[in-house]
Structure 1
């Protein structure tokens, strides 16, 4: 188990609970890092040297149920990735920018109530130098500016499941980074967050437009009229 139990817990949250794909139910200690994924989002604790093995999310060593797929090919590189530093400050400050953003996202998500059988979808929108977090349900619409002065990224829309974004910021908080890099792939379907100690990759979700209430996609279109056709969404299922 990682010496930092808080970090271990937040990393373990990324492990899949799908019993049909047991290889993803565990944390993979590769000898150089620790990897956890639910095939939609992936998290890595970097620079952790140990004998290669698998662990359950409670920290116990398990017999490997199969070969963990090669994941490094998922990392965008070169022209595929455009990124920007989103903040550099003291992470131990209880009012750090990272912690304030995390609290905003969690507070908004607690306020959103979706009808039974429907899950919440949020959207990160970069417009100019600002990044907004947008969520809506049947009755309410939320739009919060979370990043400023982001000059190095093209405008984008990234639709995601809020719970995964919360998991990402929980892991960032546990890693206590001095600097965080944030980026999107060229096709805008993979989000990339990296610090000296952790790496997080997340894929977007498709947004239904035929529900019986105003959808997040309609909400985003009203707030930020599309400048170009959004790219297709994907997941990490080629980890099979």
Structure 2
């Protein structure tokens, strides 16, 4: 069944990816993604094969043989949003020269309980350039996307389920008053890249008021308590909460 780009969503991975392997659907579904808002047009994407000519001395027409595949390239155009986390991340990625994951999720759900088609690629991001315009023209940013090292993986609509976890999150940092603690998310998986994470830090199992960010600075009131954190992953189909192991008693 055909579908359009209307209400499609684009995501990039928060971390760069090594070039040392081909990534599977399961690999992509366990990555941490950031949605890019303000999308005006989607980049060309998809893997194409090249063919090599082999002249044959006693034939008028050469033979062709399969050559290397081209992962493709295209341009992403977004309306310039200074404070959008996804665009802030794009601008940072574009300066790095490193490879990232790119996911496009289409709005072709079969029902409210299924995903849309998701296409995964890996590539380098360049730009942005900003076209000129007249007085009333909107300011857009254009990013080059050079897909590389990976054939596109397309996942057709499937029944939606809440995120799953195969490796519990852990706390990073020393259990000392004044120390900043942070979270290693562990390993989650989601049938859609549209996943958000929320946090609730706890002392001796009780919620700490207003401690709901990715980091927590240990307060003197926590002395003698052990610190844990509830991490909740949420997608369109539900949520799952995992609790970290406790720190040693705060000193």
Fold equivalence (TM over 0.5)? no
Kindly indicate which of the two structures has a greater share of residues assigned to strand. Answer: 2
Larger RCO (CA within 8 A; separation ≥ 6) = 1
Q: Which has the larger helix fraction?
A: 1
TM-score by length of 2: 0.22
Q: Which has the larger radius of gyration?
A: 2
